[in-house]
Structures are given as C-alpha cells and as structure tokens.
Amino acid sequence: MDIIPEPDGPLEEEDIFTSAPLRLTVDLGALAENWRDMDRRSGKARAAAVVKADAYGMGIEDAGEALYRAGARDFFVASVDEGVTLRHYAPDARIFVLAGIWPGTERRFFQNDLVPVVSSEEQLAFWMAVLADYGDYPCVLHVDTGFNRLGLGMEEALALVDDVSRPASFAPVLVMSHLACADDPQSPMNKEQLNLFRQVAAAYEGIDASLSASAGIFLGEDYHFDVTRPGITLYGGQAVNGMANPMRPVASAQARIVQIRHVKAGQSVSYGRALRLERDSRLAVVAAGYADGYMRSQSNGGVPLRQVVPKPGQGFVAGHRVPVAGRITMDLTIFDITDVPEHDVKAGDYVELFGHNIPVDEAAEAAGTIGYEMLTHLGLRYARAYIEE
C-alpha cells in the first residue's frame, strides 16, 4: 500500500475556509458600522453592545473585539462564561451579566470585573449577603414594567429606594427594563411601559437608566434614557416589523454543491415524496441541513408551514435565486437550479443560504421564525472568515 506523505506544514486558515463544505463570512467592518449607526440613533444616550449567544452566532471573541475598537464601552452578555471570555477582548469595558449572580459564581464576577444584573427577590437577597462579605461592588437593577419575564416588580423596586435595611454598599450603577412590543411601533404597550419606567428612573435619580434594545431605539428619544442596548441590529437583522431594514448585512452563509442531478418530470424529490417535479429539472444537492441551522421548516413541501407561508426557502447562486426542492434533511438541502444556465454552475460551487442576496430575515420568514433564531442556530460545521474593517 502506498503511503501518503505528510503535508509540509499546517493548513492555513484561508485554505481551510476555501475548501470547507460550509462557510460563514462575518463582516466585522459592517458590524462596527452598525454599532456606530445605532449609537448615532441613540441621540444623547450611549449605545451598549449586546453580545450574548456568542455574539448572535458571530463569535464573541472577534465580534466583541471589533465592537470595542469601534468605541463600545458597555456590553451585555447572558452568562458569566460569556463575560469571562469577553473580558480578554474588551479590557476596560463595563460588562453586564443578564443572568445575574448565583451562589458559587461570585468569585468569577469579582476576578473578571463583571457586573451582575439583579432580577429577582432571591437574587437581591443573595446579592445583599455577598455585599456584606465583600463590600462595595456595582450591580444593575432589572425592573419588570409589564413584560412578565424577568425583573423586580414595580412595588418592590420603588420600595427598595427608601429601604433603610439595605446595606449602604448596595449601589446600582444602572436600572433597566425591557420593552415587550417595541417591534410594533403602534402598540399601546410601549407607552404603558415607558410611563412605568419613568417612575423607576425618577426614583433612582442620579443612576443611569436603560429601557430600549434595538427596536426601542427606533421609537424615539423618549425611550433612549442614558443607555441603549442594541443587539440584533448590530448583526444586520431587522428589529422593527414593517420597516425597511437600514442595517448592513454582517453574516453570509454558503454551502458547497456536492452533486448536480438531472431529474425527469413526474419524479419526486427527497423524503416523503413531498415534491413532485412538473418539468425536467436540474437539482443541486448542497452540504447544509437542519443540523447546520438551515431549518427543516424552510422545505418546499412536506412541512405544515407551507400551508401558511407558501414560499419556501431560497438560495442564491450564479446571479439567480433558486428555491429549495423537497424536504431539507439533516446534512443536505436540494435546490432547483433549472433556471440557472447550465454552464454557469457546477459541483463544487457555493450556494448562498443567506447573506447579501438572501437577507437573513427573509430566510427566517420562510422558516416561520425570526432572524435572531437563524443566526443563533448556526451549527458548528461552518468554517469562518472574518473581514476586518
């Protein structure tokens, strides 16, 4: 048996990306410009950067560093682990941990200069005990103004202002709440929550206040207060329903064509014979499936969503949009490329799943979901390339 010689050296990242079956390109320049845009839209408030969920699937290390270089100095993460990672890339930023503090995590908060978001009576009681042992340390007070997810109730939050039993070292640096319907500018709940949060901000006079995430920023200056918290808009996603998306696309996902098949009219495609071809067709089988976050609900037939949202997922190749054909499977998706000139596409070429030509929110709509979920469900098999500013 012939022995295959060892390569001369390790593969370069560029070589790995070029030959990968799945590729994700992250435009850090667009990410930075989107943050600057949201900072401008925030008016007198300063824009933080929300980098939870591994920076919405973009990679917290590279995205965090790019946002820090762009000027962000306040960051929100979901967990202590994310905060510890981010600290290496945002050395003197304030990093707020939305999950708050729990027994056993306090040392990691202090060692990495992380600020807990206190969201419940239980967390508040624990935090008071921690302060008794460790002394002065900042926190954020999260108040529920109607979302009914996390946060102290209005009565508890307002009573806390004058609670003489609280430790003198209890000193929030920020009070925050979260809007439930900011993606619908006409919802009356926006003003209801605004009025309640104004009471909170007034009671905690002299402390920074934050109400708006991405969609709330577009509601206007009344909602901006001192700190805004843009998230999905940084990554190019749409925040407000029915409004043209002004953000630059950041992520582009591509999958290699593994095989091109010529199939006769009347034959079926993929599992369950969910799609029967009405014409002789050319089909491109690409190396992406629902294990890679390309959701089965985008299938062309054989899924309940097609009865409600008729348009299936689409890809983009050789200057043409191409529809998904049949059901999406775990590792593979089939696209109908019949309308693409045969000499323009071949096995080994790449189909864009979403990116500059197929907006991520359009792909999400075909899947019956939102851009947030599309981005945060990217699988582990994508080779990544980061485009610097």
Look up residue 37 and give its amino acid. Answer: D
d(CA 85, CA 75): 12
Dihedral of CA atoms 71, 77, 81, 82 in degrees, nearest 10, equals: -40
Residues 6 or more apart from 115 whose CB is under 8 A from it?
A: 94, 95, 96, 97, 109, 138, 139, 140, 173
| Cβ density class 132-148: b for 16+ within 10 Å, e for less | eeeeebebbbbbbbbee
Question: Which among 56, 204, 235, 271 is annotated as catalytic?
Answer: 271
Q: Assess whether 52 carries a catalytic annotation.
A: yes
CA distances, 347 to each of 18, 33, 267 (Å): 15, 36, 22
CA geometry: angle at 205 spanning 201 and 208, to 5°?
A: 65
Q: What does the DSSP 8-state code read for residue 125?
A: H
Known active-site residue 271: yes
Q: What angle do CA 329, 331, 335 make, to 5 degrees?
A: 65
d(CA 56, CA 373): 9
Active site residues: 52, 271
